[in-house]
Structure 1
Amino acid sequence: MWPFRSRLRRPRPATGHRVGSGRGLRRLARIGLAAAAALPALQAAGGARPEQTAAVALVVSVDVSQSVDDSRFRLQMEGIAEALEDPGVIAAMTGHPGGTLFAMITWADRAGLALGWRRIATRADALATAAQVRATPRQSGEFTCLGQMFRTVTASVIPALPVPAERIVVDVSGDGIDNCTDPDDLEAERTALLATGATINGLPILVPGENDVVGAGAYRAPGYGLRATPLPQERTDLAQWYGAHVVAGPGAFLLKAAGYGDFSRALRRKFVIEVSGLAAGKREE
């Protein structure tokens, strides 16, 4: 057995580690720096904070077909930009944790992603997005292919969301009915979009003397040559057609614009309703 001695020692003050001492403060500072250096690695490993989300993802979908000339296109882009600069809209978009995700589609014969997903969480974000909307070039196209737009949003826009969203809203505006798609196919494309969890709201632009009555007569459209497209040919007005073939999903609603000059006013109101989640039970205004 190895010999040993036991000595009782009077405890000494731990002066080298007291918080109030200079050495203690320096030691705590070193510990803090080491923890800060390790934080990114912890975050990358998924252990630092929960995944970010957004309350609302808003897809603004704009008709740019032949009936939308350069002047009307600019009115639409200016209307969207003005809506994004509106204090009420900014308050609604930035009032959620995580802000609002925003994307814009323009569509005619085909649909194109004009602005990819960006987060609007501050006033500066909203103003920057408005400037990008104003700078959007006009997309060429002759026909009003709403079904193509539904398919594009379903297949490539919603799957590209950068983070999960509690609600997805597709805001569709235009001055005419689909003149490209078989009615059954159009309904199938809308159903597929709704299956992603999206709500589709409508903003028909009513132009007296042009689209008072829709759905009557023959149309020349891609794939049909000079034959009439297989669209429903019942005579109706544009708002009713949007209500029947566009608007759908939880809390979906329709808000009419009285011409292109009224587009900005209608869109500002629509954005506030959509982003604030106030549309429950609404159908038409």
Structure 2
Amino acid sequence: MVLTLLTAQRAVAREAQNAGPVDTALIVSVDVSGSVDDGRYALQMDGIARALEDNAVIAAILGGRRASIFFTLVEWSERPAISIPWTRIASREDALALAAQVRRTPRQEGEFTCVAHMMKFVSDLVVTTKPAPAGRVVMDVSGDGIDNCDGEEATIANRDALVATGMTINGLPINEGDPSRPLGGGAFRAPGRPFEQRKFTGEIKTLEPWYEKHVIGGDGAFLLPANGYKDFRHAIRRKFVFEISGRRTPGNSRPNAERADFPGRSGRVSPELASTR
């Protein structure tokens, strides 16, 4: 089974390489830890598929100088895995075919929210296998919890190592559940409730600031939260348009390397982008 999968991945990589460089290499990295049940997983996969079918996203893909991108899907918990290897999208038909593949993708099993593990995996086994050059490399990280495997230093160090390669990492924190539960439990505030900061273990922590400090980074990095899993499809569609086209979100102009106090602070998405449907 493993040999068959490796053979298929190599065949896809050879085909993508033969077609030459692309405008964007997009890594879509989704949380499949214990807080993500089957229903939540289905909402994420359907959201990604719908985004790939969206006319604005397809226009962004075909509107670049090379009119093509690479796409790969990583599912992560304590055991990150490549669910869809690097795949070239160079036409509407390619995008629709990939959307159908995303919907058929089986879930990887996992329990813990290991962001640092995922970033190290992407550095070692995803970036290094990109089949041809890309004008920019972007990773889109979504999840509903903070890292509960490694300390903050490991997460920041692995993020910074990826940014040092020229990658931009954008964040899609999913705000879902009971706001009284602690960070790391996959619950931060009930969908639809106003954003509010709450105290946990003497510190003011909510998911969005954690993503700003530990996840996003690189030139033009930004944060766009989803108001619950049912809002994921709207958020991922908006993010894809900006990530694939290379357009900067309003007010975003500097990489995190220049922001020593709180990386990505200015990368919170603007009201104009947040209201776009």
Please indicate, yes or no, whether the TM-score normalized by the shorter chain is above 0.5.
Answer: yes
1:1-285 mapped onto 2 (5 Å cutoff) = 52-96=20-64, 97-210=66-179, 214=183, 234-279=203-248, 281-282=251-252, 283-285=267-269
Asked whether the 8 Å contact 1:211–1:237 carries over to 2, the reply is: no
Structure 1's unaligned 5+ residue stretches are 1-50, 217-231
Deviation at 1:165, TM superposition (A): 0.6
Change (3 A) 1:279 1:142: same
Mapped to 2, the partners of 1:107 and 1:210 lie a distance apart of 24
Asked whether the 8 Å contact 1:150–1:189 carries over to 2, the reply is: yes
Change (3 A) 1:75 1:233: farther
Asked whether the 8 Å contact 2:48–2:233 carries over to 1, the reply is: yes
Give 1:103's aligned amino acid: T
Asked whether the 8 Å contact 1:52–1:98 carries over to 2, the reply is: no
Larger radius of gyration: 1
Change (3 A) 1:233 1:130: farther
Change (3 A) 1:59 1:267: same
Asked whether the 8 Å contact 1:176–1:211 carries over to 2, the reply is: no
Higher mean C-alpha displacement, 245-254 vs 200-209:
200-209
Mapped to 1, the partners of 2:177 and 2:101 lie a distance apart of 31
The DSSP-based 3-state class of the residue aligned with 1:81 is: helix
Q: TM-score, normalised by structure 2?
A: 0.76
Deviation at 1:279, TM superposition (A): 2.1
Asked whether the 8 Å contact 1:205–1:257 carries over to 2, the reply is: yes
Give 1:68's aligned amino acid: V
The DSSP-based 3-state class of the residue aligned with 1:90 is: helix
Structure 2's unaligned 5+ residue stretches are 1-18, 186-200, 253-266, 270-277
Deviation at 1:233, TM superposition (A): 7.5
The DSSP-based 3-state class of the residue aligned with 2:56 is: helix
Give 1:262's aligned amino acid: D
Give 2:101's aligned amino acid: Q
Between Structure 1 and Structure 2, how many residues are aligned? Answer: 221
CA RMSD of aligned residues (A): 2.0
Mapped to 2, the partners of 1:155 and 1:233 lie a distance apart of 36
Give 1:77's aligned amino acid: M
Deviation at 1:215, TM superposition (A): 6.7
Mapped to 2, the partners of 1:197 and 1:233 lie a distance apart of 36
Percentage of pairs with the same residue: 52
